[in-house]
Chain A
Amino acid sequence: RKEVEQDPGPFNVPEGATVAFNCTYSNSASQSFFWYRQDCRKEPKLLMSVYSSGNEDGRFTAQLNRASQYISLLIRDSKLSDSATYLCAVYKGTYKYIFGTGTRLKVLA
């Protein structure tokens, strides 16, 4: 089993739709989690951290489910500009991270 797994997609959704991605992790001791956004031919950029209590930033909500060992990212009212690949990352300690392969989102007009 991979340490971090994501559905590669693509998720094709119409503008205005709500879409959610999950990311599962194997190490139950993991403490810190993140979502990154990566546009085509660009570097990953931090989207948001995932806290135990959840984290909301505008149209984006990140949640952690420790019992089932996954994190989720919910995007409401999707925009064309949300089209990207979304990577989850799990902090392993000593400045090391495990990244998922990413979930590709395409928002359609």
Chain B
Amino acid sequence: SAVISQKPSRDICQRGTSLTIQCQVDSQVTMMFWYRQQPGQSLTLIATANQGSEATYESGFVIDKFPISRPNLTFSTLTVSNMSPEDSSIYLCSLTGAGRETQYFGPGTRLLVL
């Protein structure tokens, strides 16, 4: 299975600032996904990042708050904009497995907003 890496692994940020999280895959994948896992909550899909087209956002998530880039088939970024303490969470990128019905996750970015 593909190896997924994320940077940064963790960060502490001030309210009102923005953070860009990078996700790198060691093979080409068509679809990448960004999830959020808030403390005590389930994994929640933020958006699907497709190469060559705009990201598709889930209900409750908007492009202005979570802009996503997908410049090629091995890389994606998620920006958390104008952060507030409520954005403190783990952010994970993921991709589908060969069977297309399983998902594999990157190691996550642990974000704390003060």
A interface residues (Cβ-Cβ under 8 A, vs B): 4, 8, 32, 34, 41-46, 49, 87, 89, 91, 95-102
B104 / chain A contacts, CB cutoff of 8 Å: 45-46
Further pairs besides A87-B42, A97-B43, A102-B42: 11, Cβ < 8 Å: A4-B42, A8-B40, A34-B102, A42-B107, A43-B106, A44-B43, A46-B97, A46-B102, A87-B43, A96-B45, A99-B42
How distant is A36 from chain B, measured CB to nearest CB, in Å?
Answer: 9
Q: What chain A residues lie within 8 Å of B33 (beta carbons)? A: 95
Question: Which residues from chain A contact B40 at a C-beta distance below 8 Å?
Answer: 8, 101
**B:81-114 near A, CB below 8 Å:** 92, 96-97, 100-108, 110
Interface SS of A by simple majority = strand
- Bound state CA distance, A32 and B99, in angstroms? 12
Give A2's nearest chain B residue, CB to CB.
B42
CB nearest neighbor in A for B56: A94
B102 x A99 contact (CB < 8 A): no
B2 contacts chain A at the CB level, 8 A cutoff: no
Q: Which residues of A contact B102 (CB under 8 A)?
A: 34, 46, 49
> Could you tell me the dominant secondary structure of chain B's interface residues?
strand
Q: Please, what's the 1-or-0 string for B14-54, where 1 marks a CB less than 8 Å from any CB in chain A?
A: 00000000000000000101000000111111001000000
Would you call B108 and A43 a contact (CB within 8 A)? yes
Which residues from A are CB-within-8-Å of B92?
A: 43-44
- Report which of A34, A45, A95, A101 forms a contact with B42, defined as CB distance below 8 A: A101
A25 to B34 CA separation, bound complex (whole angstroms): 23
CB of A44 within 8 A of CB of B105, answer: yes
A43→B45 contact, CB < 8 A = no
Whether B41 contacts A101 by the Cβ 8 Å rule is yes
Query: Which residues of chain B are within 8 angstroms of A98 by Cβ–Cβ distance?
Result: 42
Give the CA-CA distance A41 to B48 in the complex, in Å. 24
